[in-house]
Amino acid sequence: MRLLLDTHALLWWWTDDPQLSARARDAISNPGNDVLVSAATAWELATRHRIGKLGEAGEAVARFDELVTADGFQHLPVSYYHCLRAGGYAVDPCDPFDRMLAAQAELERLVLVTRDPAFGMFAVETCW
């Protein structure tokens, strides 16, 4: 299975937070699964940390590549076709990070690891 981690799932993985569901934890830790982390997640972490909504994410921002690599996860760049799909969704929410992750999951045929019910409005498979 190919997984794409939502930002909260990635943070909770890194901090061993019990809010990460057992099913999500098992999927992420399964060596048979490929785990991808979007460049949009780095953007979201940096943005939310800067505006004070994720004050505790300073280390994750500073060490983003190191932490992703150490876990054996793969970086997923944002391409123009991801942007066109994200911008073309005729649904709310307007959160650009959610829209981008949904577009990437859809176009790359990834299972999105998230507990966010907003993704139910998109044509993506989720795991939680």
- pLDDT one-digit tens code per residue, 31-70: 999 999 999 999 999 999 999 887 777 888 899 999 999 9
- Is 20's pLDDT higher than 90? yes
Q: What is the CA radius of gyration of the chain?
A: 14
Identify the H or E element spanning 66: helix 64-70
Whether residue 12 contacts residue 19, with contact meaning beta carbons closer than 8 Å, is answered with yes
pLDDT of residue 53: 86
Q: What is the pTM of this model?
A: 0.94
In CATH, what is the architecture of 2-127?
3-Layer(aba) Sandwich (3.40)
Does residue 30 register a pLDDT over 90?
yes
Comparing 13-22, 48-57, 93-102, 116-125, which segment has the lowest mean pLDDT?
A: 48-57
CA 5, 30, 108, 116 dihedral sign is negative
Q: What is the pLDDT of residue 93?
A: 60
Tens digits of per-residue pLDDT, 78-87?
Answer: 999 999 999 9
- Residue 43, judged by CB atoms within 10 A of its CB (0-12, 13-18, 19+), counts as middle
CA angle 45, 119, 14 (to 5 degrees): 35
